[in-house]
Structure 1
Amino acid sequence: MNDSTVALPWLVIRQDDNGNRYRVGRYATRAEAQKIVDGFEDRGHKQLYWVERVGPNAAK
C-alpha cells in the first residue's frame, strides 16, 4: 500500500451504458466523495455513480 491509498481511500466510480466502469476520482472522506456523486446526479448525468472505499478497511 502506498501513501496515496491511505490518504485518499474513497473512490467515485462511474458506470456507463455499456457496463464499463471508470474511476472518477479519489477523496479523503466519504462525505467528500458523496458530494461529487451528488453533484453529477443533480446535473442530470445519465450514468450510474457510486462511492467505494479501498484499502485495509474497505468494507466500512
Structure 2
Amino acid sequence: MSDSGAVLPWLVIREDDSGNRYRIGRYATKAEAQRIVDTLGGRSQHQQVYWVERLGQKTG
C-alpha cells in the first residue's frame, strides 16, 4: 500500500426514524468508530440508531 492510501475499514452508520441509512464516516479502528457512536448516540431527540460495521460486512 502506498502512503497516499489510508485503510479505513470501520464505518459508522446512522438509521433515522424513517428507516433511511447514512454513512457518517470511515475510521481506521473499531474503537475509534465506537467512540463516535457513543458520542452521537446521546445527542439525538429523534429515533435514530448509530452502529459500527466493517467495510464489506453484510447488514440485515
TM tier, smaller: 0.7 to 0.9
Q: Any gaps of 5 or more consecutive residues in structure 1?
A: none
Shift of 1:41: 1.8
Counting aligned pairs with the same residue, the percent is 65
Query: Does 2:19 align with 1:19?
Result: yes
The list of structure 1 runs, each at least 4 consecutive aligned residues, that deviate by more than 6 angstroms after superposition, is none
Q: Select the structure that is richer in helix.
A: 1
**Aligned-pair Cα RMSD in Å:** 1.7
How many pairs were matched up? Answer: 52
CA distance in 2, matches of 1:40, 1:17: 15
Q: Any gaps of 5 or more consecutive residues in structure 2?
A: none
TM-score (norm 1): 0.76
Which of the two has higher C-alpha Rg?
Answer: 2
